[in-house]
Structure 1
Amino acid sequence: MPPAHTVGLVDVHAHYVTDSYVRQAKAAGHLMPDGVPAWPSWSAAAHLDVMDRCGIDTAMLSVSSPGVHFGDDAAARDLAREVNEAGAEAVREHPGRFGLFASLPLPDVDGALAELAHAYDTLGADGVVLETNTHGTYLGDPKLEPVWAELDRRGAVVFLHPTSPVCWERSALGRPRPMVEFVFDTARTVTDLLMAGTLVRHRNLKVIVPHCGGALPVLADRVDGFMKMFMPADAQAPDAVEQLRRLYYDLAGPALPRQLPALLSLADPEHLLYGSDHVWTPAAGVEEHVRGLDAAPAPAGAASWRSLTTANARRILPGQPAPAAAATADSGASARAGREGC
């Protein structure tokens, strides 16, 4: 296989914002989103510059926390449509460089189903992004079952993204919620999916869990034990660890030196994907993260983390261009990355 610096990455955890989205979020009270001091700005040109410096061929764009539902169903439907159209425009204008994980106005089920159909059938979305909870409705809630059934029917890629948990005002202790609360809300919503049986009922899904699985690698055995403990005596005990192994995990965040080794105790290398978390992670943080992955030993049988995660991503995202096509769309991005030390 080619050396690490010649393989273009596929970034499954990349974000965009629009001026209109930020205005509406601020109007809804999200002046310091999830306790972060300020909103980032985004443009396709600036994002592509970061991608070129780091040898990222393609970035799957999604809207991050706090999502699109600020309390009113009708407004959430309109905002979901607006940001999805904006994301799809970026994909059209930069073929091969961007993909789209569409936002849904959950917990409005009817609105979510309508937007899901529009995102796939009209916009050609590559998947959807779901916040870990919306106003306290977690993803295993029975009322969301019609949405999961439709996603399963489509064999959808479902990218989970953490957001502030309920009662964060007490639990976050005044600190930014992405630091600790996000990793536990990720574990909370995936555990909810396990306990609700959602992942057993819907095996056509390709679910991506962010940030090296959050707290899941260290909680997996505990969750598995409790699930078996509380099953009826005449029912077959579910295997939570087996279900978690079927999920995909992105490496966004400070994956090294501790989180990635923990994740490898739970997930197979074939289920690991690259994620930058840009634009919420600044360019310097993206560059440092990529340098760390490029320097880290790859799992047995893989030439590099780049080649491994890129092959995994292209397997579950068949709508994205093949490596040769992506290289044509970005003539020289990987070479620039090698020269500039990313």
Structure 2
Amino acid sequence: MPRIDTHHHFVAPFYRSSLHEAGVEDAIGAALPEWSVDSALETMAALDIATAILSVSTPAATFLTDPAAAAALARELNDFAADLAVSRPDRFGFFATIPTPHLEESVREVIRSLDELSADGVVLLANAMGTYLGAEGHDALFAALDERSAVVFVHPTDLPGPRVPGIAPYVADVLLDTTRAAYLLVCNGIRSRYPHIRFILSHAGGFVPYAAHRLVGSMVGEAGRDPQQCFDELSGFYFDTAVSSTASALPSLLAFAKPGHVTFGSDWPFASLPAAQYFAQGLESYPGLDQDGRDAIDRTNALALFPRLRSTPARRPASDAALG
């Protein structure tokens, strides 16, 4: 069953130029990859992806410290993605870029993107300029998302503090970054106060499935939280399989996540096509899944998050015409 890819990036030409002008030459230690609509469609064909939900990876708009400049870049990125999604709604959706940590600007862009541009959700970085997603003080942002039952794609970025020489951030830091955000979202009560937000954690949730009991133990000991509620909220996140569907990672993820809460992710183009194919093959060959289980991860679990795609064909077109 052709896939719905919930972790699929785009690099608009003007965004690349903006990063270059600001002296930003990599994303979490990886060189900015080439991207085009045609190459995205070619990759989707190779990976049997029917629909890709596009998102901007780190650093998004956070490299612009001026709130107005960050908001303007987010608007431009979202208008670009919306035009692409409107051109081919069967092939593309998008998560809107939000200019965090600037609260007023972020709330305005959430409302505009979801209400006017019909975004499929929003992408929020695990931390924005050192402020973590689950930190206190962002109730206006979460209230706007909760009111709209929004899908929030949580993507990691550089950890606050200097990089460790010899270890590119994308190797291990990003997994900790996602885990920190997930921990705070539960421990600080964001998940319980805003229950209508559906969060997708990148890369199988970082360390969350593997270390869930350790995380819950800390929440109970330090914040006095109810252990079963914390565990339920952690396992109630959605998780994508980007760069994570291996015989060693899948057992923890599938044992931990609630049924129906794992979606396919390629991480292209930051993960090269061969890398994405390697991890897709890991999912296809994993003996702990039957065909129904693979179909659920590839497609049907995502339909609960993006019901508009129920009306699109559950097959990959034989060919794609160039987008005008």
- TM normalised by structure 2 equals 0.93
In the other structure, the counterpart of 1:201 is: 193
Give the whole-Å Cα distance in 1 for the aligned partners of 2:283 and 2:293. 8
Q: Do the aligned residues in 2 keep the contact of 1:153 with 1:204 (CA within 8 Å)?
A: yes
Which residue of the other structure, out of 303, 318, 323, is the alignment partner of 1:332? 318
What is the distance in 2 between the residues matched to 1:180 and 1:307? 28
Higher helix share: 1
1:110 aligns with 2:96: no
Report the Cα distance in structure 1 between the residues aligned to 2:95 and 2:147, rounded to whole angstroms: 17
54, 70, 78: which one aligns with 1:76 = 70
- 1:223 aligned residue: 215
| 2:297 aligned with 1:283 | no
Is contact 1:297–1:304 with CA below 8 Å preserved after alignment? no
CA deviations on 1:125-155 (whole Å, 9 max, x unpaired) are: 0000000001100012222111011100100
Give 3-state SS (helix, strand or coil) of 1:30's partner.
coil
In the alignment, structure 2 segments of 5+ residues that lack a partner are 320-324
Per the alignment, residue 212 of structure 1 pairs with 204
1:135-174 correspondence to structure 2 within 5 Å:
135-169=129-163, 172-174=164-166
1:173 Cα deviation (Å)? Answer: 2.7
Query: How far 1:308 moved relative to its partner?
Result: 3.9
Using the TM superposition, give the Cα deviation of residue 104 of structure 1 relative to its aligned residue in structure 2, in angstroms.
0.4
Is the contact made by 1:227 and 1:238 (CA closer than 8 Å) also made in structure 2? no
1:186-231 Cα offsets, whole Å, 9 max, x none, are 1011111112110011111111011111111222101111111124
Kept in 2: contact 1:160–1:209 (CA 8 A): yes
Are 2:28 and 2:169, in contact at CA under 8 Å, matched by a contact in 1?
A: yes
2:258 to 264, 268, 271: 268
Q: Which of the numbers 1, 5, 24 marks the counterpart of 1:11?
A: 5
Q: Write the distance in 1 (CA, Å) between the matches of 2:140 and 2:193.
A: 12
Alpha-carbon distance in 2 for matches of 1:236, 1:288: 40
Structure 2 counterpart of 1:186, from 172, 178, 193:
178
Superposition deviation, residue 90 in structure 1: 1.3
Shift of 1:292: 2.3
Pairing partner for 1:39 from 32, 52, 62: 32
**Aligned AA (1:282):** S
Deviations 1:22-80 (A, max 9, x none): 121222231132222x2112111111111112211000000001111221111100000
Letter in 1 for 2:47: C
Identical-residue share of aligned pairs (%): 33
Q: Residue in 2 aligned with 1:296?
A: 286
**Mapped contact 1:212–1:251 kept (Cα < 8 A):** yes
- Counterpart check, 1:20 vs 2:9: no
Q: Determine if contact 1:10/1:310 at 8 Å carries over to the other structure.
A: yes
Matched residues in 2 for 1:192 and 1:173: separation? Answer: 28
Equivalent in 236, 239, 249 of residue 239 of structure 2: 249
Q: CA deviation at 1:319?
A: 2.2
Partners of 1:54 and 1:31 lie apart in 2 by 28
Q: Which residue of 2 aligns with 1:89?
A: 83
Give the 3 Å change call, closer, same or farther, for CA 167–307 of structure 1 in structure 2.
same
Quote how far apart the aligned CAs of 1:258 are: 1.1
Q: Aligned Cα RMSD in Å?
A: 1.8
| C-alpha contact (below 8 Å) 2:260/2:296 kept by paired residues | no
How far 1:332 moved relative to its partner?
3.1
Tell me the distance in 2 between the aligned counterparts of 1:120 and 1:254.
29
- Kindly provide the amino acid, as one letter, of the partner of residue 279 in structure 2: H
Cα offset for 1:160?
A: 0.2
What amino acid sits opposite 1:51 in the alignment?
A: M
Larger CA deviation: 43-52 vs 259-268: 259-268
- TM-superposed CA distance for 1:294, in Å, is 1.7
Provide closer, same or farther for how the CA distance between residues 309 and 269 of structure 1 changes in structure 2, counting only shifts above 3 A.
farther
Cα shift at 1:269: 3.8
Give the structure 2 partner of residue 339 of structure 1: none
SS at structure 2 position matched to 1:141: coil
1:239 to 225, 229, 239: 229
Show the counterpart of 1:314.
303
C-alpha distance in 1 between matches for 2:204 and 2:32: 24
Hey, what's the Cα distance between the residues in 2 that align with 1:189 and 1:125?
23
* Comparing 123-132 and 282-291, the one that deviates more: 282-291
Say if 2:245 and 2:280, in contact at 8 Å, map to a contact too.
Answer: no
Contact 1:294/1:306 (8 A) holds in 2 = no
Q: Is the 8 A contact 1:220 1:240 kept in 2?
A: no
Aligned to 2:42: 49
TM superposition score normalised by structure 1: 0.88
Note the C-alpha offset of 1:298.
5.0
